[in-house]
Amino acid sequence: MTATPLSPSAPAAASTPGHPRRWAGLAVLAASLLVVVMDMTVLNVALPALAAETGASALQQLWIVDAYPLVLAGLLVPVTALADRIGRKRMLLTGFAIFAVASTVVLWVDTAGTVIALRVALGLGGAMIMPSTLSLIRTLFTDPQERAYALGLWAAMASLGAAVGPVVGGALLEVWSWHAAFLVNVPLMVVAIAAGLWLLPESRSSRPGRIDLPGVVLTVGGMVALVYGVKELGKVGLGPVSVGGVLLGALLLAVFVRRSLHQTDPMLAVSLFRLPLFRAGVVAALASSITMMALLFVGSQWLQLVQGWGPLLAGVALLPLAVSGLVASPLAPAIASRFGARRAVVLGLLLLAAGPLVLFLTPRPMPYLWVAVALTLVGLGTGALALASALIVGSAPQHQVGSAAAVEEICYELGAVLSISVLGGLTAALYRGGLPASASADARESLALALDTPVAAAAQAAYTDAFGWVGLAGALLMLVAAWLVHRLLPADLDLAELEH
């Protein structure tokens, strides 16, 4: 098949040999990504014990959970631009150090306020780590075919981290206190620092974007307002805070985009969205993240509150997604090479649609076996995430790879927020609509509060039905994404021959 070169005069990337320690370096990058993604979900099962010991109010508990993704999402663009200038390895190792120190400080934390501050520090470390891992993969792997395989492993770690977070949190809570959810990061980060110093090369952009202070304010304010507004939309529905947050975030980001388009070397290369391959990768990454995180979030609640399983067993029950993702993601580039990149990406998105559709079509009461089948199909479909990474990172010119990495991480962050807020909010609305008229206000507020009431069985049935309808919504989203990607990608695209 013939490639679609982005810069015909440039030599093929495959002509340059890769870094001699690239596979060992990839292990460091993948392991660090696993820890950062795991930290997004590991606290969920430890939150009740943490709240009981620190006396955290309901509002403080929300901030304990939300502080990490808000800070991470808000700082992705400016931190990535700074890494392009001072060095991506340096930024990555600094993120490792912040993660290790902040996680150690938990031993002296005894109030909800200090836990929130700790999560803010972890969000800063995560913003330094996540895009740097993608940028360094581009540096380590100059051969497009090897790079696609490496990105497949990277995507597998992202899926695995989201799935094993509750398992690790539940296991640690069984033998120790909630502090373990933080302290588990310390030895992993210490090893990552030592290995990174030895194995990873330094990497900078030949044309780094300017550190634009008004742009920093616009991106940080825009991302935080947008993410917070979407979260509030999922929690309380339409209201001045949720709508205002979304509108303010969209406005600030629109001003930032307009500002960037008029700059020679902007902090974020928004001009990348003019590339069809880049847009296809963004669509695939965003839609895949929404569906995957929705199934993990709603499925975890269903397993614990409907099936009656504990946090650890519920976490284990979600592992079919991670296991099948570990198989599919590294194989995705080989499938793309044999059958074509467009067919491979679309196939992955169709598998991501088939999994949620199984939930909708499964007879009630829903047996776990069919949930496991749905999770397995979604895991197999996450191979599309690996190929989306190859499209996003591979279609960007070398000096703009940092911007490409930042955009991909924003896709994952927004995908997680949208899945939990929008699809989670849809689940809550459908659940309330399925309750009998005799249900109390507490029972309507959440399934957990309904379990000790006379309508417990009806509430569990209503939540199961809501789970199935959310599956249909996820399937429709993935079908739309598959159609868009099919239109954006040329039929003869070969990822192994992308030129820059």
Whether residues 440 and 326 share a domain: the answer is: yes
Q: What is the pLDDT of residue 483?
A: 95
Res. 496 pLDDT band, cuts 50 70 90: low
Inside any domain, residue 401? yes
pLDDT at 16 over 70: no
Report d(CA 210, CA 309) in Å as an integer: 51
Inside any domain, residue 2? no
Inside any domain, residue 442? yes
Inside any domain, residue 395? yes
Of 204, 236, 262, which residue sits at a domain end? 262
Report d(CA 299, CA 199) in Å as an integer: 39
DSSP string, 48-77: HHHHHHHT--HHHHHHHHHHHHHHHHHHHH
For 227, what's the count of Cα atoms within 13 Å in the CB-facing half-sphere?
A: 26
Whether residues 119 and 257 share a domain: the answer is: no
Whether residues 463 and 364 share a domain: the answer is: yes
Q: Considering its fold, how many domains does the chain have in total?
A: 2
Q: What is the pLDDT of residue 477?
A: 92
Of 262, 278, 301, which residue sits at a domain end? 262
Statement: the pTM of the whole predicted model exceeds 0.85: no
Whether residues 244 and 321 share a domain: the answer is: no
Of 225, 246, 262, which residue sits at a domain end? 262
DSSP 382: T
Inside any domain, residue 1? no
**pLDDT, tens digit, 9 for 90 and up, residues 314-324:** 878 888 988 88
Whether residues 173 and 237 share a domain: the answer is: no
CATH number at residue 105: 1.20.1250.20
Report d(CA 414, CA 473) in Å as an integer: 17
Question: SS3 letters for 166-221?
Answer: HHHHHHHHHHCCCCHHHHCHHHHHHHHHHHHHHHCCCCCCCCCCCCCHHHHHHHHH
Whether residues 395 and 280 share a domain: the answer is: yes
Q: What is the pLDDT of residue 141?
A: 82
Q: At what angle do helices 58-86 and 401-418 cross, to 10 degrees?
A: 170
Whether residues 350 and 492 share a domain: the answer is: yes
Whether residues 146 and 186 share a domain: the answer is: yes
Inside any domain, residue 8? no
Q: What is the pLDDT of residue 305?
A: 84
Q: What percent of the chain has pLDDT over 70?
A: 90
pLDDT at 45 over 90: no
Range of the domain at 244: 213-262
Inside any domain, residue 3? no
Whether residues 253 and 272 share a domain: the answer is: no
Inside any domain, residue 94? yes
Whether residues 268 and 392 share a domain: the answer is: yes
Whether residues 286 and 428 share a domain: the answer is: yes
Whether residues 42 and 137 share a domain: the answer is: yes
